């Protein structure tokens, strides 16, 4: 959410000559994205986003992300389309770091989604899953069960300082999920971070999905479980079943869910809540002095996790 690497206009103008997208007209560092440096640039040919990749993204994953965006854009997904240089390469280097330019997407994210927005997101996610089915590359989800254990260990000594009992709460949940985590549900390319920040709307219609830097190959219904956590709770952490019903119904109109997928939703939703609890807790406990990013409250996701723990059947999510 900040600009970590500054690039001067002379360097940028030279960098742009590697592409066939016209001359530099304007460049503004923008507050957007997961700890990368992002710039909104105007050239004589159009509007683009330049991303300089910082530490959070592993360079070896970048070819996967960019190929995925190429694939999805070709299939008609409203996602950023990588701009390839004159030599055909989309992944380049700027200021000594990996960098890429993608097409600019109009639209704004909503802070307080309405049920209509949730339906739109469900539809967009289902289309994303269908469009991703023919993508040939795979990437392991680092933030699934094994990754949770690593994060939990790193947080263990200090977790109770955030809330007494939190360390045991997390370990118990990992133990519970580890033995039951579904392995036979339909798998494909998932976004894995489709939060309101990452979905643009024009009016009440989805105009774009962004920030694919957690995308991976995993259980499709797990993406939906992340969506339930991200879109269907109110600011006071109360679950809004109307929003969940809308999100799930719209998804199922595009991509029907099997009985096994439906049955697994409560468990997947617990796992999704735990994943964000853990990454937020880790960031909370490992704040860098002077960092430009204010970490998000991890306990929001402990409240959500408690909700899913109490769920008796998928009907709690508004499924009929």
Distances (CA, A) of 217 to 68, 128, 223, 273: 11, 13, 10, 19
Residue number with CB closer to its own copies (108 or 310): 108
- What is the secondary structure of 212-265 as a DSSP string? -TT-EEEEHHHHHHHHHHHHSB-TTS-B-HHHHHHHHHHHHHHSPPPHHHHHHH
Residue number with CB closer to its own copies (44 or 313): 44
Interior/surface letters 228-259, b for 16+ CB within 10 angstroms, e for the rest: bbbbbbeeeeebbeebbbbbbbbbbeebebee
Q: How far is the CB of 106 from its own copies (least distance, A)?
A: 5
**CA 109/CA 211 separation, integer angstroms:** 12
Q: How far is the CB of 290 from its own copies (least distance, A)?
A: 7
Interior/surface letters 100-115, b for 16+ CB within 10 angstroms, e for the rest: bbbbebebebbeebeb
For residue 282, give both structure tokens.
Answer: 């880790």
Residues 6+ positions from 137 with CB-CB distance below 8 Å: 64, 67, 68
Q: How far is the CB of 196 from its own copies (least distance, A)?
A: 10
Q: How far is the CB of 198 from its own copies (least distance, A)?
A: 14
Distances (CA, A) of 291 to 3, 85, 288: 11, 33, 5
Q: How far is the CB of 34 from its own copies (least distance, A)?
A: 15
**CA 262/CA 244 separation, integer angstroms:** 13
Cα Dmax for the chain: 60
Q: How far is the CB of 104 from its own copies (least distance, A)?
A: 8
- What is the secondary structure of 53-90 as a DSSP string? --TTS-GGGHHHHHHHHHHHHHTT--SPPBPP-TTS-S
The answer to whether the CB of 13 falls within 8 A of the CB of 5 is no
Closest CA to 81 of 104, 61, 52: 104
Q: How far is the CB of 108 from its own copies (least distance, A)?
A: 4
Residue number with CB closer to its own copies (11 or 150): 11
Residue number with CB closer to its own copies (110 or 130): 110
Residue number with CB closer to its own copies (111 or 184): 111
Residue number with CB closer to its own copies (112 or 184): 112
Task: By CB under 8 A, name the binding residues for its own copies.
Answer: 2-3, 8-10, 12-13, 24-32, 40, 42, 106-112, 200-202, 290, 292
Residue number with CB closer to its own copies (182 or 196): 196
Residue number with CB closer to its own copies (20 or 293): 293
Q: How far is the CB of 43 from its own copies (least distance, A)?
A: 10
Q: How far is the CB of 242 from its own copies (least distance, A)?
A: 18
- HSE (side-chain half, CA atoms, 13 Å) at 158: 11
Residue number with CB closer to its own copies (107 or 186): 107
């Amino acid at each position: 959410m900040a600009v970590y690497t500054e690039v001067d206009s002379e360097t940028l103008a030279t960098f742009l000559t590697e592409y066939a997208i016209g001359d530099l007209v304007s460049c503004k560092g923008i507050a957007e994205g997961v700890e990368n440096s992002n710039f909104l640039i105007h050239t004589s040919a159009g509007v683009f986003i330049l991303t300089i990749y910082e530490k959070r993204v592993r360079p070896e994953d970048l070819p996967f992300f960019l190929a995925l965006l190429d694939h999805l854009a070709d299939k008609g997904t409203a996602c950023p389309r990588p701009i390839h240089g004159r030599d055909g390469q989309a992944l380049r280097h700027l200021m000594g770091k990996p960098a890429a330019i993608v097409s600019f997407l109009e639209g704004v994210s909503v802070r307080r989604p309405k049920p209509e927005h949730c339906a739109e997101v469900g539809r967009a996610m289902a289309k994303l899953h269908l469009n991703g089915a023919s993508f040939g590359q795979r990437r392991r989800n680092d933030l699934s069960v094994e990754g949770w254990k690593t994060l939990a260990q790193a947080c263990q000594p200090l977790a109770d300082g955030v809330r007494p009992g939190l360390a045991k709460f997390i370990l118990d949940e990992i133990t519970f999920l580890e033995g039951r985590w579904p392995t036979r549900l339909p798998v494909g390319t998932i976004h894995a971070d489709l939060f309101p920040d990452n979905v643009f709307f024009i009016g009440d219609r989805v105009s774009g999905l962004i920030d694919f830097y957690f995308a991976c190959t995993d259980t499709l219904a797990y993406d939906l479980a992340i969506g339930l956590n991200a879109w269907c709770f109110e600011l006071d952490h109360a679950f809004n079943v109307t929003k969940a019903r809308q999100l799930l119904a719209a998804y199922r109109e595009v991509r029907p869910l099997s009985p096994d997928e439906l049955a697994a939703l409560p468990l997947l939703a617990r796992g999704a809540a735990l994943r964000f609890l853990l990454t937020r807790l880790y960031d909370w406990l490992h704040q860098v002095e002077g960092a430009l990013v204010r970490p998000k409250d991890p306990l929001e996701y402990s409240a959500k996790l408690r909700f899913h723990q109490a769920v008796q059947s998928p009907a709690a999510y508004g499924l009929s």
